[in-house]
Structure 1
């Protein structure tokens, strides 16, 4: 049985890497999860810190840059964006049926370090909830 390819995509790879980490904990054997960014890859120590609170680590894999081939191969493309500060990427019409949008704020929008840490915790929780919902849809 071919595994379903679930591709998490965000502007900076911060939120998509969190989603990949959460998805890797799901009890789903017939899916492969990867993550990437549509703009540029950015890392933050807050990602590891937020996931560590749940005894998890960020994915060890490098972010996967979107390509037409990858987008065509993906069974589901989860696009994570912040409608207050980002425009979600456009996709060709033929991909429309496999695109899901999650409007989750970008924790990097906070300039203040203590507030930014709280944003990261909140974003991590929101992504966990969204991924759990995804699990129900995939089962």
Structure 2
């Protein structure tokens, strides 16, 4: 049986990295999770800090840059964006049925450190809940 490929994608490799880390905790078989970004592959230290709160590590693999081949290969593309500050990327019509959108705040929109840290924790919680909901789709 071929492994299904789930690709988490966000503007910066922040929310998609968190989603990949949470997804790897799911109890699903024959599924591979990867993450990437459509703009910046930098992963700020707050990502690791937020995941460490749950005794998790950020993904060790490099972010996967979206390419037509990767988008075609993916069985599900979870696009994570903040509708208050970002536009979700457009995809070709032939991919429409395998695109899922999650509207989750970009924690980097906060500028003050204590507020930014609180937003990272909130985003991590929101992503955990969204990933848990994804488990029902994958089983």
- Would you say same fold, with TM above 0.5? yes
Q: Report the CA distance between 1:29 and its aligned residue.
A: 1.4
Q: What is aligned with 1:81?
A: 81
| Distance (Å, rounded) in 2 between the aligned partners of 1:123 and 1:74 | 24
Summarize deviations over 1:13-52 as a string: whole Å, max 9, x none.
1000000000001001110000000011121111011000
Q: 1:22 aligned to 2:43?
A: no
Q: What is aligned with 1:121?
A: 121
- List, as ranges, runs of 4+ consecutive aligned residues in structure 1 with deviation greater than 4 Å: none
| Distance (Å, rounded) in 2 between the aligned partners of 1:70 and 1:12 | 18
Aligned-residue RMSD, C-alpha: 0.5
Q: What is aligned with 1:44?
A: 44
Gaps of 5+ in 2: none
For 1:51-90, list aligned pairs within 5 A. Answer: 51-90=51-90
Q: What is aligned with 2:91?
A: 91
Q: Report the CA distance between 1:90 and its aligned residue.
A: 0.2
Q: 1:4 aligned to 2:10?
A: no
Gaps of 5+ in 1: none
